Amino acid sequence: MRSFDRVPTSIGSLPFRDAAEACALVLDLFPEIPAWPQLPAAGFEESMYAQFCDGMPLLRFDTSGDIFAELEPFYARVLDGDVGHFAVPRERASGLYALIEGIAERRPAGLRGIKGQVTGPLSFGLLVTDENRRPILYHEEVHDAVVKTLALKARWQTERLREAAAAAGAPADAATIVFVDEPYLASFGSAYITLDRNRAIASLDEVFDAIHGAGGLAGVHCCGNTDWSMLMATRVDILNFDAYGYLPGMTLYPAELTAFLGRGGALAWGIVPCSAAAEEATAADLARRFREGVDALARKGADRERLLAAAIVTPACGVGSLSDALARRVLHLCRETADLLRS
């Protein structure tokens, strides 16, 4: 069982345009597990959906023609294990490359790993539509190619982050963590999404398995409430949830949570609000909320010591849509809250 002991890290996006500035802030605040920043303000190419499109067949998702003519060479690359074909280029993820370079330059003391992220196959499949404005999630042949593309991008990213950690002198057991971002899972099980549970689990597991295959830990981030039992039925290692706004939702699955923690799973507590609430919040307030959350889950049967030992402290979501000042406050609160919880 891996122990994180309430170490802090960030989630996804920052509102900056300059990758070096963004990474300097991340490395200053989170030297133990820095996360590369997505920079949607830098341009459309860095949005969470455009960011991972390269190498994906049927990129315009027009399914009216002969889709198999385009899928055939794609599957040949997949079967050949051509991971390099699915690399994320610098122009789509400047923060990824800037963080790798920053870690090599700084060689931060206490480096315990590096965190990355990839858009989840379910959210991608629901947001992107075909020529009839139907989500490609419901076009199984095309969506299978989407899942495999995202899985191979996750594997490529895991390999690059592991190399960066090793080159910076991180210990051999340093964690390479890749979160699968699934904001649309907040609607899972509602009238807005009709998706078979087993197919959802299989799609997610394909991406998680690719991360595991490269020696990484797989996380999933959902910034709203969802069916956490479905996610705990996958092979995910870390669940990142909005502990500030939606803690009661996690208490609804005591048996599944106990089993998840028992097999070595960890919770990443999004205890810092990514809204105007952060203006008035203090680290003491947020540490108290965290402890109350641990108490609530322990009363439901979760192992208190495991909850604490396995905990990661994060903002509730990415901060790319916030002002520069508020985003910085959220990240500083995350650092301060984790320090208070670990003191």
pLDDT for res 189: 60
Q: Give yes or no for a contact between 306 and 267, defined as CB atoms under 8 angstroms apart.
A: no
pLDDT for res 31: 97
Question: Which sign, positive or negative, has the C-alpha torsion 210, 211, 216, 222?
Answer: negative
pLDDT bucket at 221, cuts 50 / 70 / 90: very high
Q: Is the pLDDT of residue 118 over 90?
A: yes
Whether residue 184 lies inside any domain: the answer is yes
Whether residue 39 lies inside any domain: the answer is yes
pLDDT for res 192: 64
pLDDT for res 98: 98
Helices (H) and strands (E) in the chain, counts: 13, 7
Average pLDDT value for residue range 232-241: 98
**Alpha helices per DSSP H over the chain:** 19-29, 67-80, 94-106, 121-127, 140-167, 197-213, 228-232, 247-250, 254-262, 277-280, 283-299, 304-309, 324-342
CA distance 221 to 219: 7
Whether residue 237 lies inside any domain: the answer is yes
What domain range is 307 assigned to? 7-342
Average pLDDT value for residue range 300-318: 96
Question: Which sign, positive or negative, has the C-alpha torsion 294, 300, 306, 307?
Answer: negative
Q: Is the pLDDT of residue 191 over 60?
A: no
pLDDT bucket at 122, cuts 50 / 70 / 90: very high
CATH number at residue 212: 3.20.20.210
How many residues comprise the chain? 343
Average pLDDT value for residue range 235-247: 97
Whether residue 295 lies inside any domain: the answer is yes
Whether residue 292 lies inside any domain: the answer is yes
Q: Mean pLDDT score of the chain, rounded to an integer?
A: 94
Average pLDDT value for residue range 109-121: 95
pLDDT for res 194: 75
Q: Is the pTM of this model over 0.75?
A: yes
CA distance 98 to 23: 7
Poorest-pLDDT segment among 207-211, 224-228, 267-271, 285-289: 224-228
Whether residue 2 lies inside any domain: the answer is no
Whether residue 1 lies inside any domain: the answer is no
Residue 327 in 3-state DSSP? helix
Whether residue 89 lies inside any domain: the answer is yes
For the chain, what is the domain count?
A: 1
Report the percentage of the chain scoring pLDDT > 90. 81
